[in-house]
Amino acid sequence: MHAPLFQVDAFTTQRFRGNPAAVMLLEQYLPDTVLQAIAAENNLSETAFLVRTGEDYRIRWFTPTLEVSLCGHATLASAAVVMERLERDRRRVVFHSASGPLTAVREDDRYLMNFPARPAQSIPTPAGFADALGAEPVEVFVNVHNYMALLSSAKAVRELTPDLLAVARIDRPGIIVTAAGDAGYDCVSRYFAPAKGIAEDPVTGGAHCMLVPYWSTRLGKTEISAYQASARGGELSCRALGERVELGGQCVFYLEGQVEI
C-alpha cells in the first residue's frame, strides 16, 4: 500500500527551524507495531497518523520509541496539512485524540489550537534532580506528565547541559526547564525527554500546556509570548483559558511524498 506523507517544520516561519513533524494520512489505522516502525523510520520527535472520520480526523502520535497521549507540534503540522493540502477551503478542524477533542483554527498565516491545561504543584527538589539537570533550580513543579524546573535566568536555560542518562531515569517522562523571558518574550523554555526517545525536543506544545498556567498566574496576564530555546528554536503565542490553553504558531512545509508499506 501507499500513503501520503508530509514533513512540516512547526512553530516557525523559517524552514529548518521549529520542530519537524511527519504527518501521514491513512484510510484506517495499521497495527501498532507498523505505526511504531514507521515513526522509527521517520526518526523525528513525533509522527502524527490521521484517519478521516466524517468531517473530523482521528489523530495518534508516535515518537521513534513509543506512542504519546498528546503532541502539540505534530497537531499543528496536521492542521496545516489538512487546511493547506487536503481541504484548502477549511478554516477549522477537530482532531479526536487520547487527550480528547483538539480544535485547530486557521487565522491568516497561523493556526490556533485548543488544548487541555496541565497545571502543576510546587514540590521540594527531589534527590539527585539538580545533578541530573546540571543546575540548581529555583523551584520545582510536577504533575503526572512532567517535572518543570524554574531556573534563575533565560541565560541559564539557554546554556543548560543536563545529564541525559540521569534525566532518563527520573520518574516522569521528561523535564521542562523555564525562566522569565528575554529578547521580548514572556518566558523561555527547553524540554528534555530521553525516556521517550527524544533527547531534547526542539519545540513542545504539550510542555506549554504546563508552562502557560504557571506563567499566566506569575505574570498576571492571560496572553503569553513564549520561546523554546533549543538549537532550532521556536515561537508560540499562548493564551490561558482556565482548564484549557490556546497555542498558536506557524508552519513551513519541507517534504511531500508517498510512503510504500
pLDDT in the model for residue 208: 98
pLDDT in the model for residue 68: 98
Annotation says 27 is catalytic: no
Domains in the chain and their CATH numbers? 2-116+247-260 (3.10.310.10), 121-241 (3.10.310.10)
The confidence band for 3, taking pLDDT boundaries of 50, 70 and 90, is very high
Rounded to whole angstroms, the Cα distance separating 21 from 254 reads: 10
Arithmetic mean of pLDDT, 251-255: 98
pLDDT in the model for residue 259: 95
Arithmetic mean of pLDDT, 224-239: 98
Catalytic residue among 27, 46, 67, 243: 46
> Residue 12: which of 232, 229, 231 has the closest Cα?
232
Query: Burial code of 51-78, b = ≥16 C-beta within 10 A, e = fewer?
Result: beeeeebbbbbbbbeebbebbbbbbbbb
pLDDT in the model for residue 131: 98
The confidence band for 18, taking pLDDT boundaries of 50, 70 and 90, is very high
Average pLDDT, the chain: 98
Which residue do the cell numbers 516522569 mark? 172
The confidence band for 71, taking pLDDT boundaries of 50, 70 and 90, is very high
